[in-house]
């Protein structure tokens, strides 16, 4: 059977959706269900903030993996696919280890072990993310990236919304064992999909099968560390790239505030059940993921930058509205409305953010360059979570949302200065200069 990403748009969209589901599954457990479960069991805000910040760190250090993927690969199996399969296998093993950790007595009072287990699960989830993103940049035509990113974002949200809701129920009914065992089974199924699907016709399905590397993979493969870092330096420090790095930090730091603040406020301050918060979050993110599918064609038509500006502007307004409506926080209808709107807007931010950064990458060093952007954005979220844990005791109720709204508004304003076409033109000039150097002077 020959399932090749380069030959089928349907296979590209479905495969990247499935791969993003795989990284969404542990996110639902670690970032949604467990924080709410810990909050319900009276774990302090500082400890929950520390749990989120530390378990999220691997997503901030993806840049360490990108250069390895650009430098080394078993090209006969594809340029990125060996890394995708390896990361999925590691994720499966890490989740099985978390199942084993569930037998530790009273895991709630063993936060260190719980945090350590969550950290290693995210190490491999983040590694898979880098490999899949590199594969997407390598195999997706430019005119498919908006739609593909909407499907990929749908996959991630579907993964963590279903995982968040289901794991919340399993944590209450069966404890950590039931939640982690179910997730391990789901990850195992997706691992099998990664083995079946290949990048290009003629490549090996496994190391011992027949096949060979494609010409494109051979042409793009870096021959040395020096060439990777020289090429990366040429594109990473262009004005558009640097500006987007700052914008990403502002937006994702505010998201770190939300990750810690939302479950603590809803469960501890407003005394809702942790399962209620997890169910609401999962339902709202699921709705947002479905609506996000319609955003892909819009991005392909008008551009990711314009969509991202609009989404950030709306998000800033939402945060400011929440901060000025403290008197309504006890209302279930108000909270549910906030969660729905927040989920939809952040989904729009995420889809356009990914598509925008893919559009400014140079395919020669795409894994490293894109990993740096994504790692930085995730590190910013962990930093935001840590900052929230430090400053929250000194804030009046609602003030945190004014800070978040202000930060996001600044990011939207800075995004107006981004010039994607100028950046793409500069990359083309770099390519031309490189080709001329390879050809040498004409006698």
Residue for token digits 């996110």? 27
What are the tens digits of pLDDT across the range 306-362? 999 999 999 999 999 998 888 888 888 888 888 889 989 998 998 899 889 888 888
What are the tens digits of pLDDT across the range 97-133? 888 877 877 777 777 888 888 898 899 988 888 888 8
Structure tokens at 273: 């059940």
44 by Cβ neighbours in 10 Å (0-12 / 13-18 / 19+) ranks as middle
Measured distance CA(215)–CA(100) in Å, rounded: 44
Q: How far is CA 195 from the centre of its chain?
A: 22
Q: How far is CA 13 from the centre of its chain?
A: 17
292-318 exposure pattern, b = at least 16 Cβ within 10 A, e = fewer:
bbebbebbbeebbbebbbbbbbbbbeb
Which phi and psi (to 5°) does residue 4 adopt? -120, 125
Residue for token digits 């430019």? 142
Running DSSP on this structure, what letter comes out for residue 4?
Answer: B
What are the tens digits of pLDDT across the range 197-214? 888 888 888 888 887 877
Q: Please list, in sequence order, all residues whose beta carbon lies within 8 angstroms of the beta carbon of residue 173, skipping any fewer than 6 positions away.
A: none
pLDDT value for 443: 36
Residues 55, 30 contacting (CB under 8 angstroms): yes
Measured distance CA(201)–CA(123) in Å, rounded: 31
Which phi and psi (to 5°) does residue 441 adopt? -70, 145
pLDDT value for 370: 82
If DSSP codes are grouped into helix, strand and coil, which group holds residue 198? strand
Measured distance CA(407)–CA(256) in Å, rounded: 12
pTM of the shown model = 0.71
Write down all domains in the chain, each with its CATH number in brackets.
5-210+221-435 (1.20.1250.20)
pLDDT tens for the chain, 443 residues: list them.
468 888 888 888 999 899 988 888 888 888 878 887 787 777 777 788 788 878 888 876 777 777 777 777 788 888 888 999 999 999 999 888 888 877 877 777 777 888 888 898 899 988 888 888 888 877 888 778 778 888 888 888 788 778 877 887 888 777 778 888 888 888 899 899 988 888 888 888 888 888 787 777 777 666 677 777 888 888 888 899 999 999 999 999 998 888 888 887 887 778 777 777 777 877 887 788 888 888 888 888 888 899 999 999 999 999 999 988 888 888 888 888 888 899 899 989 988 998 898 888 887 777 778 878 887 887 888 788 888 878 878 878 888 899 999 999 999 999 999 988 888 888 888 777 666 654 444 43
Residues 76, 212 contacting (CB under 8 angstroms): yes
Q: Please list, in sequence order, all residues whose beta carbon lies within 8 angstroms of the beta carbon of residue 242, skipping any fewer than 6 positions away.
A: none
């Amino acid at each position: 059977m020959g399932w090749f990403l380069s030959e089928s748009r349907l296979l590209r969209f479905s495969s990247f959706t499935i791969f993003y589901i795989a990284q969404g599954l542990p996110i639902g457990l670690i970032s949604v269900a467990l924080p709410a479960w810990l909050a319900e069991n009276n774990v302090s805000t500082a400890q929950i903030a520390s749990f989120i910040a530390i378990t999220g760190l691997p997503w901030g250090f993806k840049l360490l993996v990108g250069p390895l993927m650009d430098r080394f690969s078993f090209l006969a199996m594809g340029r990125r696919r060996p890394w995708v399969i390896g990361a999925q296998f590691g994720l499966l093993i890490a989740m099985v280890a978390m199942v084993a950790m569930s037998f530790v007595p009273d895991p709630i009072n063993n936060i260190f072990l719980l945090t350590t287990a969550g950290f290693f699960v995210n190490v491999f989830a983040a590694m898979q993310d880098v490999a899949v993103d590199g594969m997407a940049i390598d195999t997706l035509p430019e005119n498919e990236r908006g739609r593909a990113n909407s499907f990929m974002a749908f996959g991630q949200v579907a993964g963590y919304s279903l995982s968040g809701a289901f794991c919340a129920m399993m944590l209450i009914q069966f404890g950590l064992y039931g939640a982690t065992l179910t997730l391990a089974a789901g990850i195992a199924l997706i691992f099998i999909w990664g083995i079946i699907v290949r990048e290009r016709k003629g490549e090996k399905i496994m190391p011992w099968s027949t096949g060979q590397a494609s010409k494109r993979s051979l042409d793009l493969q870096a021959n040395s560390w020096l060439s990777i870092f020289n090429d990366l330096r040429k594109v990473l420090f262009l004005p558009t790239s640097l500006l987007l790095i700052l914008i990403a930090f502002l937006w994702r730091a505010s998201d770190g505030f939300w990750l810690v603040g939302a479950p603590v406020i809803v469960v501890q301050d407003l005394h809702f059940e942790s399962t209620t918060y997890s169910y609401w979050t999962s339902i709202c993110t699921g709705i947002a993921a479905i609506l996000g599918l319609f955003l892909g064609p819009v991005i392909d038509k008008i551009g990711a930058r314009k969509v991202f500006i609009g989404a950030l502007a709306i998000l800033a307004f939402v945060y400011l509205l929440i901060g000025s409506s403290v008197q309504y926080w006890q209302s279930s209808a108000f909270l549910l409305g906030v969660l729905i709107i927040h989920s939809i807007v952040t989904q729009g931010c995420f889809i356009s953010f990914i598509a925008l950064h893919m559009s400014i990458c140079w395919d020669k060093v795409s894994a490293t360059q894109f990993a740096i952007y994504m790692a930085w954005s995730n590190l910013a979220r962990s930093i935001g979570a840590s900052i929230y844990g430090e400053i929250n005791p000194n804030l009046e109720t609602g003030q945190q949302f004014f800070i978040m709204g202000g930060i996001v508004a600044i990011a939207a304003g800075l995004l107006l200065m981004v010039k994607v076409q100028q950046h793409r033109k500069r990359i083309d000039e770099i390519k031309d200069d490189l080709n001329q150097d390879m050809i040498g002077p004409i006698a």
